[in-house]
Amino acid sequence: MEKSICFYFQVHQPHRLRQYRFFDIGKDNYYYDDFANRTILRRVADRCYLPANRLMLELINKYNGAFKITYSISGSVMEQFESYAPEVIESFRKLAETGNVEFLAETYYHSLASLATPEEFEKQVKRHSNLIEEKLGVRPTVFRNTELIYSDTIGAKVADMGYTAMLTEGAKHILGWKSPNYLYTNAINPRLKLLLKNFNLSDDIAFRFSDKGWSNWPLTSDKYVTWLSDSLIKDEVINLFMDYETFGEHQSASTGIFEFMRHLPQAILSRTAFKFDTPSGIIKRHQPVAPLHVPFPISWADEERDTSAWLGNELQNEAFSKLYGIYQKVAECNNSELNDNFGRLQESDHFYYMCTKFFSDGAVHKYFNPYDTPYEAFINYMNVLSDFLLRVERCSFLSSEDSGTIIATQDTPVIGKERGLKRSKVTVTKNRLNK
């Protein structure tokens, strides 16, 4: 029985919004914090993308093709690479030229479009695949959705778009007694193969590596390989999925994360029967064991492994429904600037910043959040969205009577008015949301 190990890394940075005030609505339609975006992108490039890419290229060359890795790179971060760090694109191109790296398709804007509108979802996926082919010279054949969001219907849609496999989370509430360490298929269209993340082994590196309070700290390559070997008795595929920023950003170089990765391939190749492979290679070498039934969307976020990190409260759902409620109007405008703004406003990060879960996952949400509170994130986003809606209305030649405008400030209620719908009022306070 063949044994495979897949290292997959997500590469993404959002377009962060500037502080956009109530009095900016209708007067200023530039929404982005260029200073923050440039500063953060350069910092992460110097700490993570460039040194990590050098290391991965070194390992590929050292092991003569025995070491393989997989990436997905959002269109949002590719745009920022072009503006602030073009050498990062060149370093990914060098990796692509080795033939030992697979690049996956995803939504161009790292968006939640798969949960909202199939048309926008498909449009973004096609645009992203075209971008990867243009910049890196390879056409993706395997798909990963934003934050590994997946359901039976999403998977069937991906299959209809021609992709052969898809990555998602090995969620316990879906798997039950089954192991994530096998290949599965979509429950509606078995042509789509599913690779499931082993979250325990993945999170040992991504989240627990530098945690000195962890009972297994420090994590060494020898210790980790022992855990991998324990999975060899019956299982076939170990999928290690994580943010690429694990290397050098989330886990700083001082923790030893780069040295850990430098020694890990040798330990795996010399002490186990695992072979490094990419998703395309794995679906050729392994046979699926069963369909995976996922009636409701899952993701790789938080303990729940669902979509509540982005759509778990009224703030998020209000913003989400207002944004995607104007999809058709934006499409009818056929305006490149509006389309670009609409795409960037879809980035899942904006909704993540509004998350109010401050329990076991609070530290993670705090780390990624540039706002002091989720309520501030909501207010800022809704102010931007209000201005964007005004621009869409003007473009569509709609009268104020037929349109809806959402305005939010720290002290001002959010008023939602839609044609034919009941008038609703949402008031934001520091501690609660009243509707």
Mind telling me the catalytic residues? 147
With CA atoms as reference, report the closest residue to 345 among 327, 328, 333.
327
What φ, ψ does residue 340 adopt, rounded to 5°?
-65, -45
- What are the beta bridge partners of residue 347? 111
With CA atoms as reference, report the closest residue to 435 among 350, 347, 329, 321.
321
- How far, in Å, CA of 337 to CA of 334, rounded? 9
- Cα 311 to Cα 97, 303, 307, 320, 384: the distances in Å are 39, 15, 6, 8, 19
- How far, in Å, CA of 5 to CA of 197, rounded? 11
Q: CB–CB of 276/43 below 8 Å? A: no
Supply 71's token pair.
């990436």
Q: Give the chain's largest Cα–Cα span.
A: 71
- How far, in Å, CA of 272 to CA of 183, rounded? 20
Torsion of CA 126, 128, 132, 135, to 10 degrees: 110
Supply 364's token pair.
């993670």
Angle ∠(56,57,58) on CA atoms, nearest 5: 90
Supply 338's token pair.
């509006």
- How far, in Å, CA of 312 to CA of 375, rounded? 14
CA torsion sign for 122, 167, 64, 222 is positive
Residue 403 host element (H or E) = none
Amino acid letter, 333: C
Backbone region of residue 407 per phi and psi (left: phi > 0; alpha: psi in -120 to 50; beta: other values): beta
- What are the beta bridge partners of residue 416? 424
Q: CB–CB of 196/169 below 8 Å? A: yes
- How far, in Å, CA of 38 to CA of 249, rounded? 16
Written as one string, the DSSP assignment of 395-411 is HTT--TTT-------SS
